[in-house]
Amino acid sequence: MSSLILEDLFQRNDGQLHMAQAIAAGVSRSQFYAWRDHGLIEAISRGIYRLTSLPVLSQPDLVIASLRFPRSVVCLLSALSYHGLTTHIPHALDLAVTKQSRLPQLDFPPIQAHRFSDVSFLAGIETHQIDNVPVRIYDPEKTLVDCFKFRHKIGLDLILEALNIYKKQFTIKTNQVMAYAKICRVDKIITPYMESLLCL
């Protein structure tokens, strides 16, 4: 196969491709590795390659994790960071999975996986296109509620900071926050904080 066929194959997959997909499309391993050795493609994670002619990934951690674990959802501190709700820089990428799922693990980016109940896992998922890759991230309101659910791991200071930023930068959606809070069983805990937020 020519490099033109290679580029078409990658373009049809938004520039990223699992090696297994290429082989399924009729590409031999030797051809694939030749393209890599000639600098036409590069590995961005184990088994996932990308055209080198594309711009540098704007958010490689989110893209790589989404490609490797497409059913997971970016959550907690990583979701706070994506939505601009924290000044804290997460040291690992927080991913939510269902209780029945295997915990995702990667050497890079480092991943902190969290098991959510089925109803909590499905609530509040948004899909954002990042570097032509669909990345599942909890919306700001679900993220805040999840942080209260995991408050003993996250720390109240970070949550209070996120609430203050949320009030300044977003329209406060009290009903949505409380609906998520009931799903996550933290409605009694979060109610006084929401009341205080609305009074400030």
Nearest to 49 by CA among 20, 78, 89, 84: 20
Q: What is the dihedral of CA 155, 161, 167, 171, to 10 degrees?
A: -60
Total count of domains within the chain:
2
How would residue 161 be classed by pLDDT, with cut points 50, 70 and 90? very high
Whether 79 and 141 share a structural domain: yes
State the residue range of the domain holding 31: 3-51
Which is more confidently placed, 13 or 87? 87
Kindly state the average pLDDT of the residues 179-200.
89
Choice among 17-21, 136-140, 147-151 with the minimum mean pLDDT: 17-21
Q: Are residues 23 and 97 in the same domain?
A: no
State residue 98 phi and psi, 5-degree precision: -75, 165
| Residue pLDDT, tens place only, 120-129 | 999 999 999 9
* Domain final residue pick, 51, 68, 83: 51
The verdict on 35 and 104 lying in the same domain is no
Section 142-149 average pLDDT: 97
Q: Which residues pair with 114 in a beta bridge?
A: 96
Q: Residue 119 burial (CB < 10 Å; 0-12/13-18/19+)?
A: exposed
Contacts for 51 with CB less than 8 Å, ≥ 6 apart: 7, 10, 11, 15, 40, 41
Write out pLDDT tens, residues 74-97: 999 999 999 999 999 888 999 999
**Over 90: is that where the pLDDT of 145 sits?**
yes
Higher pLDDT: 197 or 1? It is: 197
Report the pLDDT averaged over residues 94-101: 92
DSSP annotation string for the chain: --HHHHHHHHHTTTTEEEHHHHHHTT--HHHHHHHHHTTSEEEEETTEEEETTSPPPSSHHHHHHHHH-TT-EE-HHHHHHHTT--S---SSEEEEEETTSPPP--TTTTEEEEEE-HHHHHTTEEEEEETTEEEEEE-HHHHHHHHHHTHHHH-HHHHHHHHHHHHHHS---HHHHHHHHHHTT-HHHHHHHHHHHHH-
If asked whether residues 64 and 41 sit together in one domain, one would say: no
Residue 1: pLDDT band (50, 70, 90) is very low
Mean pLDDT of 158-180: 94
Q: What pLDDT, on a 0 to 100 scale, did the predictor assign at position 117?
A: 95
Residue 21 CA to residue 24 CA, distance in Å, equals: 5
| Widest pairwise Cα distance in the chain | 66
Q: Are residues 24 and 69 in the same domain?
A: no
Looking at the fold, whether 157 and 94 belong to one and the same domain comes out as yes
Do 112 and 139 reside in the same domain of the chain? yes
Looking at every residue in the chain, the average pLDDT score rounds to 89
List pLDDT tens digits, range 17-64.
888 888 888 878 888 888 888 888 888 887 888 888 888 888 889 998
Q: How many CB atoms lie within 10 A of CB 95?
A: 26
44 and 85 in a single domain? The answer is no
81 touches 90 (CB < 8 A): yes
Whether residues 104 and 150 fall in one domain: yes
Asked if 89 and 155 sit in the same domain, the reply is: yes
